[in-house]
Amino acid sequence: MVQRQLPNPAELLELMKFKKPEFDGKKRRLDSALTIDDLRTIAKRRTPKAAFDYTDGAAEGELSLTRARQAFQDVEFHPGILRPAPSVDTSVEILGGPSALPFGIAPTGFTRLMQTEGEVAGAGAAAAAGIPFTLSTLGTTSIEGVKATNPHGRNWFQLYVMRDREISYELTRRAAAAGFDTLQFTVDTPVAGARLRDKRNGFSIPPQLTLGTIINAIPRPWWWYDFLTTPKLEFASLSTTGGTVGELLDAAMDPTISYDDLAVIRDIWPGKIVIKGVQNVEDSVRLRDAGVDGIVLSNHGGRQLDRAPIPFHLLPEVRKAVGDDFTVMIDTGIMNGADIVAAVALGADFTLIGRAYLYGLMAGGRAGVDRTISILRTEIERTMRLLGVASLAELEPAHVTQLTRLVPVTRAASDAVVR
Protein backbone atom coordinates (compact mmCIF):
# COMPACT_ATOMS: atom_id res chain seq x y z
CA MET A 1 0.00 0.00 0.00
CA VAL A 2 1.22 3.51 -0.84
CA GLN A 3 1.43 5.64 2.27
CA ARG A 4 -0.58 8.83 1.83
CA GLN A 5 -0.33 12.15 3.64
CA LEU A 6 -1.64 15.64 3.41
CA PRO A 7 0.41 17.86 1.06
CA ASN A 8 3.02 20.03 2.70
CA PRO A 9 2.44 23.63 1.51
CA ALA A 10 6.18 24.38 1.56
CA GLU A 11 6.90 21.39 -0.68
CA LEU A 12 4.12 22.40 -3.06
CA LEU A 13 5.66 25.85 -3.45
CA GLU A 14 8.98 24.25 -4.40
CA LEU A 15 7.25 22.20 -7.10
CA MET A 16 5.15 25.03 -8.50
CA LYS A 17 7.06 28.04 -9.80
CA PHE A 18 5.00 30.53 -11.71
CA LYS A 19 6.54 31.87 -14.90
CA LYS A 20 7.17 35.61 -14.90
CA PRO A 21 4.75 37.24 -17.36
CA GLU A 22 6.22 38.83 -20.50
CA PHE A 23 4.43 42.07 -21.35
CA ASP A 24 6.35 42.75 -24.59
CA GLY A 25 4.09 41.20 -27.22
CA LYS A 26 6.78 40.87 -29.89
CA LYS A 27 9.23 39.22 -27.53
CA ARG A 28 6.52 36.92 -26.23
CA ARG A 29 5.54 35.64 -29.67
CA LEU A 30 9.15 35.27 -30.84
CA ASP A 31 10.15 33.44 -27.67
CA SER A 32 7.29 31.02 -28.33
CA ALA A 33 8.80 30.14 -31.73
CA LEU A 34 11.01 27.07 -31.29
CA THR A 35 11.39 26.19 -34.98
CA ILE A 36 11.40 27.93 -38.34
CA ASP A 37 7.97 26.41 -38.94
CA ASP A 38 6.77 28.22 -35.81
CA LEU A 39 8.08 31.50 -37.25
CA ARG A 40 6.28 30.71 -40.51
CA THR A 41 3.01 30.28 -38.62
CA ILE A 42 3.44 33.63 -36.88
CA ALA A 43 4.43 35.28 -40.19
CA LYS A 44 1.32 33.97 -41.93
CA ARG A 45 -0.86 35.32 -39.16
CA ARG A 46 0.71 38.79 -39.27
CA THR A 47 1.23 39.37 -43.00
CA PRO A 48 -1.33 40.07 -45.74
CA LYS A 49 -1.93 37.10 -48.00
CA ALA A 50 -0.36 38.51 -51.16
CA ALA A 51 2.92 39.39 -49.44
CA PHE A 52 3.05 36.14 -47.48
CA ASP A 53 2.26 34.02 -50.55
CA TYR A 54 4.95 35.80 -52.55
CA THR A 55 7.46 34.67 -49.93
CA ASP A 56 6.04 31.25 -49.21
CA GLY A 57 5.10 30.22 -52.73
CA ALA A 58 6.98 28.74 -55.65
CA ALA A 59 6.45 28.04 -59.34
CA GLU A 60 3.47 26.20 -60.85
CA GLY A 61 2.62 23.14 -58.71
CA GLU A 62 5.42 23.97 -56.23
CA LEU A 63 6.84 20.48 -56.67
CA SER A 64 10.47 21.63 -56.65
CA LEU A 65 10.10 23.34 -53.29
CA THR A 66 8.16 20.45 -51.76
CA ARG A 67 10.72 17.93 -52.98
CA ALA A 68 13.65 20.01 -51.74
CA ARG A 69 12.21 20.20 -48.24
CA GLN A 70 11.32 16.52 -48.32
CA ALA A 71 14.89 15.65 -49.32
CA PHE A 72 16.20 17.16 -46.10
CA GLN A 73 13.53 15.38 -44.08
CA ASP A 74 14.57 12.11 -45.73
CA VAL A 75 17.96 12.15 -44.01
CA GLU A 76 19.20 9.47 -41.68
CA PHE A 77 22.03 10.53 -39.38
CA HIS A 78 24.70 8.14 -38.11
CA PRO A 79 26.05 9.41 -34.79
CA GLY A 80 29.31 8.31 -33.25
CA ILE A 81 29.19 7.28 -29.60
CA LEU A 82 31.59 7.91 -26.73
CA ARG A 83 32.95 10.93 -28.58
CA PRO A 84 32.42 13.84 -26.19
CA ALA A 85 31.66 17.20 -27.79
CA PRO A 86 30.93 19.48 -24.81
CA SER A 87 31.54 22.47 -27.05
CA VAL A 88 31.32 22.77 -30.82
CA ASP A 89 32.95 25.11 -33.32
CA THR A 90 30.43 26.26 -35.92
CA SER A 91 32.75 28.71 -37.67
CA VAL A 92 33.93 28.33 -41.25
CA GLU A 93 36.18 30.07 -43.76
CA ILE A 94 34.26 30.80 -46.94
CA LEU A 95 35.36 32.69 -50.05
CA GLY A 96 38.34 34.26 -48.38
CA GLY A 97 36.73 35.33 -45.13
CA PRO A 98 35.17 34.08 -41.89
CA SER A 99 31.62 33.21 -40.98
CA ALA A 100 30.61 32.33 -37.42
CA LEU A 101 28.06 29.85 -38.76
CA PRO A 102 27.90 27.63 -41.86
CA PHE A 103 25.12 29.69 -43.42
CA GLY A 104 24.50 33.19 -44.66
CA ILE A 105 21.43 35.16 -45.69
CA ALA A 106 20.40 34.59 -49.30
CA PRO A 107 19.34 37.36 -51.68
CA THR A 108 15.62 38.09 -51.65
CA GLY A 109 13.69 40.61 -53.72
CA PHE A 110 10.99 43.08 -52.59
CA THR A 111 12.05 42.47 -49.00
CA ARG A 112 10.50 45.59 -47.46
CA LEU A 113 7.14 44.41 -48.76
CA MET A 114 7.22 41.50 -46.32
CA GLN A 115 8.07 43.78 -43.38
CA THR A 116 9.12 47.38 -43.53
CA GLU A 117 12.59 46.90 -41.97
CA GLY A 118 13.50 44.70 -44.92
CA GLU A 119 17.16 44.33 -45.83
CA VAL A 120 18.22 46.60 -42.99
CA ALA A 121 16.92 44.00 -40.52
CA GLY A 122 18.66 41.19 -42.42
CA ALA A 123 21.99 42.98 -42.74
CA GLY A 124 21.92 44.10 -39.11
CA ALA A 125 21.15 40.61 -37.85
CA ALA A 126 23.85 39.13 -40.07
CA ALA A 127 26.36 41.63 -38.73
CA ALA A 128 25.46 40.78 -35.13
CA ALA A 129 25.77 37.04 -35.83
CA GLY A 130 28.99 37.31 -37.82
CA ILE A 131 27.60 35.80 -41.03
CA PRO A 132 27.39 37.13 -44.63
CA PHE A 133 24.39 39.04 -45.93
CA THR A 134 23.46 39.01 -49.62
CA LEU A 135 21.62 41.92 -51.25
CA SER A 136 19.45 41.18 -54.28
CA THR A 137 19.44 43.19 -57.50
CA LEU A 138 15.70 43.49 -56.79
CA GLY A 139 16.30 44.62 -53.21
CA THR A 140 14.40 47.47 -51.62
CA THR A 141 17.42 48.89 -49.79
CA SER A 142 20.33 50.38 -51.68
CA ILE A 143 23.82 48.95 -51.90
CA GLU A 144 25.05 51.90 -49.90
CA GLY A 145 22.25 51.49 -47.35
CA VAL A 146 23.24 47.89 -46.66
CA LYS A 147 26.86 48.91 -46.31
CA ALA A 148 25.88 51.57 -43.77
CA THR A 149 23.92 48.98 -41.80
CA ASN A 150 26.72 46.39 -41.92
CA PRO A 151 29.89 48.50 -42.26
CA HIS A 152 32.34 45.95 -40.88
CA GLY A 153 30.66 42.67 -41.77
CA ARG A 154 30.61 40.64 -44.96
CA ASN A 155 28.26 41.93 -47.63
CA TRP A 156 27.62 39.99 -50.84
CA PHE A 157 25.72 41.18 -53.93
CA GLN A 158 23.47 39.08 -56.16
CA LEU A 159 23.48 40.16 -59.80
CA TYR A 160 20.93 39.63 -62.55
CA VAL A 161 22.18 40.28 -66.08
CA MET A 162 19.52 42.50 -67.58
CA ARG A 163 18.49 43.35 -71.10
CA ASP A 164 20.10 46.74 -70.56
CA ARG A 165 23.58 45.49 -69.73
CA GLU A 166 24.77 48.88 -68.52
CA ILE A 167 22.39 48.66 -65.55
CA SER A 168 24.06 45.41 -64.48
CA TYR A 169 27.54 46.81 -65.04
CA GLU A 170 26.79 49.91 -62.98
CA LEU A 171 25.36 47.86 -60.11
CA THR A 172 28.51 45.71 -60.15
CA ARG A 173 30.72 48.78 -59.93
CA ARG A 174 28.64 50.25 -57.10
CA ALA A 175 28.83 47.04 -55.07
CA ALA A 176 32.59 46.89 -55.56
CA ALA A 177 32.98 50.54 -54.54
CA ALA A 178 30.94 49.86 -51.39
CA GLY A 179 33.31 47.06 -50.36
CA PHE A 180 31.07 44.05 -51.05
CA ASP A 181 33.46 41.10 -51.21
CA THR A 182 31.52 38.48 -53.21
CA LEU A 183 29.27 38.61 -56.27
CA GLN A 184 26.58 35.98 -56.85
CA PHE A 185 26.13 35.87 -60.63
CA THR A 186 22.66 34.38 -61.05
CA VAL A 187 22.00 32.16 -64.07
CA ASP A 188 18.66 30.46 -63.44
CA THR A 189 16.35 33.36 -64.30
CA PRO A 190 16.44 34.04 -68.06
CA VAL A 191 12.67 34.56 -67.76
CA ALA A 192 10.28 34.60 -64.83
CA GLY A 193 8.85 31.35 -63.51
CA ALA A 194 5.07 30.89 -63.37
CA ARG A 195 4.35 31.85 -59.76
CA LEU A 196 0.67 31.07 -59.69
CA ARG A 197 -0.03 32.26 -56.17
CA ASP A 198 1.07 35.76 -57.21
CA LYS A 199 -1.17 35.70 -60.28
CA ARG A 200 -4.16 34.53 -58.28
CA ASN A 201 -3.54 37.20 -55.66
CA GLY A 202 -3.04 39.93 -58.28
CA PHE A 203 0.29 40.58 -56.60
CA SER A 204 2.15 43.59 -57.99
CA ILE A 205 4.71 46.22 -57.06
CA PRO A 206 3.43 48.52 -55.66
CA PRO A 207 0.55 46.53 -54.13
CA GLN A 208 -2.82 47.12 -55.77
CA LEU A 209 -5.79 47.48 -53.43
CA THR A 210 -8.89 45.41 -54.16
CA LEU A 211 -11.87 44.51 -52.02
CA GLY A 212 -10.15 41.20 -51.27
CA THR A 213 -6.87 42.80 -50.15
CA ILE A 214 -8.74 45.29 -47.97
CA ILE A 215 -10.75 42.51 -46.29
CA ASN A 216 -7.57 40.48 -45.79
CA ALA A 217 -5.84 43.52 -44.28
CA ILE A 218 -8.48 44.27 -41.65
CA PRO A 219 -7.04 41.87 -39.03
CA ARG A 220 -3.47 43.05 -39.84
CA PRO A 221 -3.51 46.81 -39.21
CA TRP A 222 0.09 46.80 -37.97
CA TRP A 223 1.38 45.77 -41.42
CA TRP A 224 -0.54 48.53 -43.16
CA TYR A 225 0.54 51.08 -40.55
CA ASP A 226 4.17 50.18 -41.22
CA PHE A 227 3.63 50.18 -44.97
CA LEU A 228 1.87 53.56 -45.08
CA THR A 229 4.05 55.44 -42.56
CA THR A 230 7.51 54.48 -43.85
CA PRO A 231 9.41 55.49 -47.03
CA LYS A 232 7.87 54.53 -50.35
CA LEU A 233 8.35 50.90 -51.35
CA GLU A 234 10.48 50.78 -54.47
CA PHE A 235 13.47 48.99 -55.90
CA ALA A 236 16.54 50.71 -54.55
CA SER A 237 18.67 49.84 -57.59
CA LEU A 238 16.12 49.99 -60.42
CA SER A 239 13.97 52.83 -61.69
CA THR A 240 11.08 50.83 -63.20
CA THR A 241 8.76 49.45 -60.55
CA GLY A 242 5.28 49.10 -62.08
CA GLY A 243 3.54 45.83 -62.92
CA THR A 244 3.25 42.30 -61.68
CA VAL A 245 6.32 40.51 -60.42
CA GLY A 246 6.46 38.32 -63.53
CA GLU A 247 6.20 41.37 -65.82
CA LEU A 248 8.97 43.10 -63.91
CA LEU A 249 11.26 40.09 -64.16
CA ASP A 250 10.52 39.52 -67.83
CA ALA A 251 11.27 43.17 -68.57
CA ALA A 252 14.54 43.10 -66.64
CA MET A 253 15.95 39.66 -67.44
CA ASP A 254 17.49 38.49 -70.70
CA PRO A 255 17.24 34.91 -72.04
CA THR A 256 20.41 35.49 -74.09
CA ILE A 257 22.67 35.51 -71.01
CA SER A 258 25.83 33.48 -71.73
CA TYR A 259 29.44 32.83 -70.79
CA ASP A 260 30.33 36.03 -72.66
CA ASP A 261 28.36 38.00 -70.08
CA LEU A 262 30.17 36.19 -67.31
CA ALA A 263 33.50 37.19 -68.86
CA VAL A 264 32.49 40.86 -68.94
CA ILE A 265 31.32 40.85 -65.31
CA ARG A 266 34.52 39.11 -64.21
CA ASP A 267 36.55 41.91 -65.80
CA ILE A 268 34.53 44.50 -63.85
CA TRP A 269 34.31 42.70 -60.50
CA PRO A 270 37.47 42.72 -58.32
CA GLY A 271 36.32 40.28 -55.61
CA LYS A 272 35.16 36.68 -55.43
CA ILE A 273 32.55 35.54 -57.94
CA VAL A 274 30.24 32.56 -57.55
CA ILE A 275 27.63 31.29 -59.99
CA LYS A 276 24.18 30.89 -58.43
CA GLY A 277 21.60 28.56 -59.92
CA VAL A 278 23.74 25.61 -61.02
CA GLN A 279 21.62 22.48 -61.47
CA ASN A 280 23.78 19.72 -62.94
CA VAL A 281 27.19 18.11 -62.65
CA GLU A 282 28.39 19.05 -66.14
CA ASP A 283 27.87 22.79 -65.58
CA SER A 284 29.56 22.53 -62.19
CA VAL A 285 32.71 21.10 -63.75
CA ARG A 286 32.66 23.57 -66.63
CA LEU A 287 32.40 26.51 -64.26
CA ARG A 288 35.22 25.18 -62.11
CA ASP A 289 37.38 24.89 -65.23
CA ALA A 290 36.37 28.43 -66.24
CA GLY A 291 38.04 29.68 -63.06
CA VAL A 292 35.14 31.05 -61.04
CA ASP A 293 35.53 31.00 -57.27
CA GLY A 294 32.56 28.77 -56.53
CA ILE A 295 28.99 27.77 -57.31
CA VAL A 296 25.64 27.71 -55.55
CA LEU A 297 23.58 24.60 -56.23
CA SER A 298 20.11 26.10 -56.36
CA ASN A 299 16.81 25.90 -58.19
CA HIS A 300 15.91 29.39 -57.00
CA GLY A 301 13.87 28.08 -54.11
CA GLY A 302 11.63 26.24 -56.57
CA ARG A 303 10.48 29.60 -57.97
CA GLN A 304 11.64 29.16 -61.57
CA LEU A 305 11.48 25.77 -63.30
CA ASP A 306 9.13 23.46 -61.44
CA ARG A 307 10.36 19.85 -61.28
CA ALA A 308 13.94 21.16 -61.39
CA PRO A 309 16.67 19.01 -59.77
CA ILE A 310 16.87 18.92 -55.98
CA PRO A 311 20.11 20.70 -54.97
CA PHE A 312 20.64 18.52 -51.89
CA HIS A 313 20.41 15.37 -54.01
CA LEU A 314 22.92 16.80 -56.51
CA LEU A 315 25.42 17.72 -53.83
CA PRO A 316 27.38 14.45 -53.36
CA GLU A 317 27.81 13.88 -57.10
CA VAL A 318 28.86 17.48 -57.72
CA ARG A 319 31.36 17.40 -54.89
CA LYS A 320 32.89 14.21 -56.26
CA ALA A 321 33.14 15.70 -59.75
CA VAL A 322 34.68 19.08 -58.86
CA GLY A 323 37.03 17.90 -56.10
CA ASP A 324 37.60 19.12 -52.58
CA ASP A 325 39.29 22.45 -53.40
CA PHE A 326 36.39 24.10 -55.22
CA THR A 327 33.75 26.03 -53.26
CA VAL A 328 30.29 24.48 -53.42
CA MET A 329 27.37 26.13 -51.66
CA ILE A 330 23.72 25.11 -51.55
CA ASP A 331 20.30 26.61 -50.93
CA THR A 332 16.61 25.69 -51.39
CA GLY A 333 14.53 23.85 -48.80
CA ILE A 334 16.56 24.58 -45.66
CA MET A 335 14.22 24.84 -42.66
CA ASN A 336 16.30 23.37 -39.82
CA GLY A 337 19.85 23.52 -38.57
CA ALA A 338 20.03 19.76 -39.07
CA ASP A 339 19.50 20.39 -42.80
CA ILE A 340 22.62 22.56 -42.77
CA VAL A 341 24.64 19.94 -40.88
CA ALA A 342 23.58 17.28 -43.39
CA ALA A 343 24.58 19.51 -46.30
CA VAL A 344 28.02 20.18 -44.82
CA ALA A 345 28.52 16.47 -44.13
CA LEU A 346 27.80 15.66 -47.79
CA GLY A 347 30.24 18.21 -49.12
CA ALA A 348 28.76 21.71 -48.99
CA ASP A 349 31.20 24.41 -47.90
CA PHE A 350 28.36 26.75 -47.01
CA THR A 351 24.59 27.17 -47.19
CA LEU A 352 22.20 30.07 -47.77
CA ILE A 353 18.80 30.67 -46.16
CA GLY A 354 16.07 32.68 -47.89
CA ARG A 355 12.54 31.87 -46.74
CA ALA A 356 13.70 30.96 -43.23
CA TYR A 357 15.07 34.49 -42.88
CA LEU A 358 11.94 36.06 -44.34
CA TYR A 359 9.63 34.11 -42.01
CA GLY A 360 11.53 35.63 -39.10
CA LEU A 361 11.38 39.08 -40.68
CA MET A 362 7.60 38.87 -41.12
CA ALA A 363 7.17 37.49 -37.62
CA GLY A 364 9.03 40.28 -35.88
CA GLY A 365 11.28 42.52 -37.96
CA ARG A 366 14.92 42.63 -36.94
CA ALA A 367 14.20 40.73 -33.73
CA GLY A 368 12.53 38.01 -35.81
CA VAL A 369 15.62 37.64 -38.02
CA ASP A 370 17.74 37.39 -34.88
CA ARG A 371 15.38 34.64 -33.72
CA THR A 372 15.77 32.77 -37.02
CA ILE A 373 19.53 32.77 -36.65
CA SER A 374 19.32 31.76 -32.99
CA ILE A 375 17.01 28.81 -33.77
CA LEU A 376 19.27 27.55 -36.55
CA ARG A 377 22.40 28.00 -34.45
CA THR A 378 20.88 26.00 -31.59
CA GLU A 379 19.80 23.22 -33.97
CA ILE A 380 23.24 23.08 -35.60
CA GLU A 381 25.05 22.89 -32.28
CA ARG A 382 22.70 20.26 -30.87
CA THR A 383 22.91 18.11 -34.01
CA MET A 384 26.70 18.27 -34.00
CA ARG A 385 26.88 17.26 -30.33
CA LEU A 386 24.52 14.37 -30.89
CA LEU A 387 26.60 13.21 -33.85
CA GLY A 388 29.73 13.36 -31.71
CA VAL A 389 31.58 16.02 -33.72
CA ALA A 390 33.23 19.09 -32.27
CA SER A 391 33.78 21.03 -35.50
CA LEU A 392 32.34 21.29 -38.98
CA ALA A 393 35.55 19.83 -40.37
CA GLU A 394 34.79 16.54 -38.59
CA LEU A 395 31.53 16.09 -40.52
CA GLU A 396 31.82 13.59 -43.36
CA PRO A 397 29.53 11.66 -45.74
CA ALA A 398 29.48 8.68 -43.38
CA HIS A 399 27.39 10.75 -40.98
CA VAL A 400 24.46 10.97 -43.43
CA THR A 401 22.34 8.72 -45.60
CA GLN A 402 20.01 10.32 -48.13
CA LEU A 403 16.89 8.18 -48.08
CA THR A 404 15.28 8.02 -51.49
CA ARG A 405 11.67 8.56 -52.50
CA LEU A 406 12.24 9.68 -56.09
CA VAL A 407 14.25 7.07 -57.99
CA PRO A 408 15.09 7.76 -61.65
CA VAL A 409 13.62 5.18 -64.01
CA THR A 410 16.29 3.84 -66.39
CA ARG A 411 15.57 3.19 -70.04
CA ALA A 412 16.10 -0.51 -69.47
CA ALA A 413 13.54 -0.59 -66.69
CA SER A 414 11.10 1.35 -68.85
CA ASP A 415 11.55 -1.07 -71.72
CA ALA A 416 10.97 -4.00 -69.40
CA VAL A 417 7.70 -2.48 -68.25
CA VAL A 418 6.58 -1.94 -71.86
CA ARG A 419 7.34 -5.55 -72.78
Greater confidence (268 vs 254) lies with 268
Residue-wise pLDDT tens digits, 383-418: 999 999 999 999 999 999 999 888 887 644 555 554
254 vs 101, higher pLDDT = 101
Average pLDDT, stretch 292-297? Answer: 98
Q: Are 112 and 141 in contact (CB under 8 A)?
A: yes
Say if residue 93's pLDDT is above 70. Answer: yes
Rounded mean pLDDT, 324-345: 98
Top-tier CATH class for 25-390: alpha beta
So which residues are the catalytic ones? 300
Residue 2 in this model has a pLDDT that exceeds 90: no
Per-domain residue ranges for the chain?
A: 25-390
- Cβ atoms 127, 133 nearer than 8 A: yes
Contact (CB, 8 A) for 207 and 50: yes
Residue 247: pLDDT band (50, 70, 90) is: low
- CB–CB of 313/346 below 8 Å? no
Q: What is the mean pLDDT of residues 202-213?
A: 70
Q: How far apart are CA 327 and CA 278, in angstroms?
A: 13
Asked if pLDDT for residue 47 goes beyond 90, the answer is yes
CA distance 315 to 317: 6
Is 80 in contact with 398 (CB distance < 8 Å)?
A: no
pLDDT at 248: 67
DSSP result, 91-104:
-EEETTEEESSSEE
- Look at residue 296 and give its three-state secondary structure: strand
Q: What is the pLDDT of residue 89?
A: 97
Return the pLDDT at 341.
Answer: 98
Crossing angle (nearest 10°) for helices 355-387 and 49-56: 50
Check pLDDT > 80 for residue 244. Answer: no
- Res. 369: pLDDT tops 80: yes
Cα–Cα distance measured from residue 168 to residue 147, given in angstroms and rounded to the nearest whole number = 19
In this predicted structure, the answer to whether residue 207 has a pLDDT above a threshold of 70 is no
pLDDT in tens, 6-31: 888 877 777 777 778 887 888 999 99
Which pLDDT band holds residue 208 (cuts at 50, 70, 90)?
Answer: low
Taking all residues of the chain, what is their mean pLDDT, rounded to a whole number?
90
Using pLDDT thresholds of 50, 70 and 90, give the confidence band for residue 184: very high
Q: What pLDDT does residue 137 have?
A: 93
352 — pLDDT class (breaks 50, 70, 90): very high
Tens digit of each residue's pLDDT (9 = 90 or more) over 140-157: 999 999 999 999 999 999
The pLDDT score that the predictor gives to residue 416 is 53
Mean pLDDT for the stretch of residues 175-192: 93
For the cut 60, the answer to whether the pLDDT of residue 279 exceeds it is yes
Q: What is the mean pLDDT of residues 230-252?
A: 69
> How confident is the model at residue 233, as a pLDDT?
79
Q: Could you please report the per-residue DSSP string of 227-255? A: HHSSSPP--SS-S---SBHHHHHHHHB-T
